[in-house]
Amino acid sequence: MNTTELRQKDVAGLQAEVKELQRAHFNLRMQKATQQLGDTGQLSSTRRAIARAKTILAETVAKGAAK
């Protein structure tokens, strides 16, 4: 999901997206631990996606508090 799609979501949607990405990252880490993960690049991409979603969530909350 790119930043324009994330910016269109509300706070609840962003929080749900962060939880979903964290769950996916956990599953990837478990696959890596059990030697079932073929593409280890997915770990870094999900980690960056989590950071991107959290950043946009913080911006949205700050913008809402400034009003």
pLDDT at residue number 64: 85
Going from N- to C-terminal start, the domains of the chain cover 3-66
Please list the pLDDT of the chain residue by residue as tens digits (67 residues): 899 999 999 999 999 999 999 999 999 999 999 999 999 999 999 999 999 999 999 999 999 888 7
Position 49, amino acid: A
Token pair for 28: 């990837």
CA–chain centroid gap for 21, Å, is 4
Query: What's the CATH code, domain 3-66?
Result: 1.10.287
- DSSP 8-state assignment for residue 31: H
